[in-house]
Amino acid sequence: MLGVLGRFQDSSPRIVFSGNFASPSYLVDLACKSIEDFKLFTLNAQHVFPIPNGIVLETPFVGPAYRERKDWLSYIPMRLSLVPRLLNTTHVPDIVMLNVSRVIGGRVSLGIEVNLMVAAIEEARRVGALVVAEVNSYMPYTYGDGEIDLDHIDYCIYHDEKIASSAIGALDEVAMTIGYNVAGLVGDGSTLQLGIGSIPNACLDALKGHRSLRIWSEMFSDGVFELEKVGALDHSVPIVASFIFGSEELYQWVDLNPRIQMRRTEVTNDPSLISRNPKMTSINTAIEVDLYAQANASFVRGNIYSGFGGQTDFIVGALHSVGGNAIIALPSWHSKSGSSTIVARIQAPVTSFQHSALVTEWGIASIFGKSQSEQAVEIIDNIAHPDARDSLRIAAEKMQLH
């Protein structure tokens, strides 16, 4: 394989590889040993690779591994539903690297990370780029768009490596209260999309008493598995997602499970398809929201922290769903900085806007259909931390939001 990769030594290739917890670390390490100058394109990289300085790290969604290498980071602002379009326009791959399941019936599965990798493989085959895969017995075999014929892969390396996991930690009182408040906005029979982190996990935990819930989401974690265990999910419809982020137990559950249908990003994140789900409810979080009901979920102290992800796709889809709801949930206070997460006006680039409700541990601001001034009053009175309300009211007066 070193020889195969070595032929790209002088061409500064773009390597597109599976992101999140499915990164093919062995193959990426080989690339670092074989090629001096290249670009690495992925989503939400978790594994910290020993990447030489000078290698360009491209991503529309910054994960921990890329966050540590700001000097070489090339962040591409892009909602997740449009990222596959990058691969056949401005960011065409020269090499595609996959972490796939064991072979079953002449096929392998992309497992927990379908996402944009189907589009990457298709584009690689169109332009004659190289497709290589780690065949990993620890990777779950999941059904759906991520089942790939071996004929579509140029080289396979059999390399077993446990899939890294992210188990649910203990939920604090603030997160649990937020989850309870969100659950009050979700009716039985709703379709759910949730992101990553303690707030989405708390929301799922608070929904265990609901029934006939459905999942159509860009991703899911252990909280969905817990809903399945307690009978909260509608068994007549599959669980649809594009990637999975969770524990080893979760990975074992999804392996060869026909309930789980993994779809490519262009399907899961298409707002028109999202909107067809009954009572589509998107539940996302943010770093801060302002009195115009705008949310920043991407920037911290002026630096890119993550990216759009699927938040914008699902907010639009949910708002166009019959009975749908687009919720942003967050703590009202940032304990480390001792500051309010509800601000007068966001100074960073805005991630999303025009939600139907904002939720903190203090309550719910129902903002759909409200005027600018009414929105501001809802936000200050219902979700801002009490210590921030007076200053926010003064700011609202100056902004003529009264």
N-term to C-term CA, the chain = 66
For residues 216 and 234, the answer to whether their CB atoms sit within 8 Å is no
Write 219-224 long-range contacts (CB < 8 A, 24+).
Answer: 219/20, 219/195, 219/243, 219/244, 219/245, 219/310, 220/194, 220/244, 220/245, 220/246, 221/166, 221/168, 221/196, 221/245, 221/246, 221/250, 222/167, 222/168, 222/246, 222/247, 222/249, 222/250, 223/168, 223/194
Q: Dig out the tokens for 337 from the structure.
A: 């900085």
Q: Which residues are identified as catalytic?
A: 218
Q: Directed axis angle between helix 173-183 and helix 198-206, to 10°? A: 50
* Radius of gyration of the chain from its Cα atoms, rounded to whole angstroms: 22
DSSP, residue by residue, 219-262: EE-HHHHHHHHTT-B-TTS-EEESEE---HHHHHHHTT-TTEEE
Q: Which helix (H) or strand (E) holds 28?
A: helix 25-34
Residue whose C-alpha is closest to residue 25's, from 76, 81, 87, 97: 97
For residues 57 and 304, the answer to whether their CB atoms sit within 8 Å is no
- Collapsing DSSP states into helix, strand and coil, what is residue 16? strand
Edge-to-edge strand list for the sheet holding 342-343: 295-296, 288-290, 342-343
Quote the CA–CA distance of 352 and 294 in Å, as a whole number: 6
Quote the CA–CA distance of 389 and 290 in Å, as a whole number: 12
For residues 202 and 171, the answer to whether their CB atoms sit within 8 Å is yes
Quote the CA–CA distance of 398 and 41 in Å, as a whole number: 44
- Collapsing DSSP states into helix, strand and coil, what is residue 266? helix
Residue whose C-alpha is closest to residue 94's, from 64, 120, 66: 120
- Count of CB atoms situated within 10 Å of the CB of 341: 21
